[in-house]
Amino acid sequence: MPNARATHLTRRGVLAAGGALGLGAALAACGDNDSKSGGSDATKAAAKSGPWTFKDDRGTTVKLDKKPANIVAFTGVAAALFDYGVEVKGVFGPTKTKDGKPDVQAGDMDISKLTILGNEWGQFNIEKYAGLAPDVLVSTMFDTAGTLWYVPEESKDKILKLAPSVGVSVYDVQMPQPLQRMLALAESLGADVKSARITEAKKKFETAAERLRKAAKARPEIKVLAGSASQDIFYVSGSNLSIDLEYFKALGVNIVEPSAKALKASGGWFENLSWENVDKYPADIIIMDDRTSTIQPADITEATWKKLPAVKAGQVIARTPEPILSYDKCTPILDRLAEAIENAKKVA
């Protein structure tokens, strides 16, 4: 995972299990189609409305003469705004898989209607971006330096000259905080946050959080390990820094913690293990990184993995290190872990 103090994110640093990434995600740096739809009601309303102001998590206040109509966003941010009825024109980040299907981070968006400016780490088509006449660019941030996720370091100055930017922090905070911030952003862009649909979604999230709290309290002996698989390395995430793991821990989940020395070496995110040492930390449940840049459990062939008690017991579930920040998308994350803890056998 990213080092909070680094201004340049290395390929290895970002591949890790801690909270964000999609290095090797699919192909195609650029998408094919500009958005042909008229956009949502919220987006249409934005084009007609008066002055727009939003203070982001860098403390930067963006001021425009009218609400942004031409929005460009990191894919996961765009997917969250879509859930609130706000559509974007262009995206960057993991959007399309190798077989042309929507990436897990694209949520419910119709990616055929989007201009994909970059589908992989380090790729961002500035010419296409300029052609969209962007009003604002929105992304998440995984450090305190204000680094916008998936905006390439080497071309950020050119990119950020074309339109103001908004950053939503997902660093060292619990899930409810960025959820609230994304909802506030959506509201500023015209979303009806008091609608029955959004109100119900938030209520379901709160119910799921209480369910997880109760499950963790009833089964404190169940150890949960957060893992991520690559060809040569198995990453074990610590409970700090990542919005999901911090929240799970706050709700009482017994998260397996890597060694302090290993965490320090990675900037606090993770410990990397060889596959021979994948059994270093006993666990009853393993939650595995679901991003397309990582190897999924069904495709892991290592014998040491298959011998793990949690694997043999079928107690491996998906983890979403980069949640789509809408209540609708985060609720299943809590329910999934709660169910796993409720039904888990003590195997560690």
Helix/strand/coil for 18: coil
Residues facing residue 285 across a β-bridge: 224
Q: Mean pLDDT of all residues in the chain?
A: 89
Rounded CA separation 73/165 (Å): 9
Instruction: Please tell me the predicted confidence (pLDDT) of residue 42.
Output: 52
Nearest to 242 by CA among 269, 267, 265, 223: 269
DSSP state of 227: E
| In contact, 174 and 203? CB cutoff 8 Å | no
Residue pointed to by tokens 């930067």: 60
Instruction: Please tell me the predicted confidence (pLDDT) of residue 291.
Output: 97
Q: What is the CA radius of gyration of the chain?
A: 20
Instruction: Please tell me the predicted confidence (pLDDT) of residue 31.
Output: 35
pLDDT band at residue 41 using 50, 70 and 90 as cut-offs: low
pLDDT band at residue 28 using 50, 70 and 90 as cut-offs: very low
Instruction: Please tell me the predicted confidence (pLDDT) of residue 50.
Output: 77
% of residues, the chain, pLDDT over 70:
86
Query: Does pLDDT of 16 surpass 70?
Result: no
Query: Does pLDDT of 22 surpass 60?
Result: no
Query: Does pLDDT of 6 surpass 90?
Result: no
Helix/strand/coil for 287: strand
Rounded CA separation 81/107 (Å): 10
Rounded CA separation 343/127 (Å): 52
Helix/strand/coil for 251: coil
Q: pLDDT tens digits, residue range 82-115?
A: 999 999 999 999 999 999 999 999 999 999 999 9
Residues facing residue 273 across a β-bridge: 234
Instruction: Please tell me the predicted confidence (pLDDT) of residue 193.
Output: 97
Instruction: Please tell me the predicted confidence (pLDDT) of residue 48.
Output: 55
Q: pLDDT tens digits, residue range 189-227?
A: 999 999 999 999 999 999 999 999 999 999 999 999 999
Instruction: Please tell me the predicted confidence (pLDDT) of residue 164.
Output: 98
pLDDT band at residue 117 using 50, 70 and 90 as cut-offs: very high
Q: pLDDT tens digits, residue range 247-299?
A: 999 999 999 999 999 899 889 999 999 999 999 999 999 999 999 999 999 99
Q: pLDDT tens digits, residue range 60-83?
A: 999 999 999 999 999 999 999 999
Alpha helix (H) ranges present in the chain?
A: 11-15, 41-48, 75-83, 126-131, 156-161, 176-188, 196-218, 243-250, 260-265, 303-306, 309-312, 327-343
pLDDT band at residue 55 using 50, 70 and 90 as cut-offs: very high
| In contact, 170 and 142? CB cutoff 8 Å | yes
DSSP state of 105: G
Q: Could you write out the DSSP letters of every residue in 26-64?
A: -S-SS-S----S---HHHHHHHHS--EEEE-TTSPEEEE
| In contact, 9 and 29? CB cutoff 8 Å | no
Rounded CA separation 233/274 (Å): 5
How many residues make up the chain in this entry? Answer: 348
Residues facing residue 274 across a β-bridge: 233
Q: pLDDT tens digits, residue range 135-176?
A: 999 999 999 999 999 999 999 999 999 999 999 999 999 999
| In contact, 327 and 201? CB cutoff 8 Å | yes
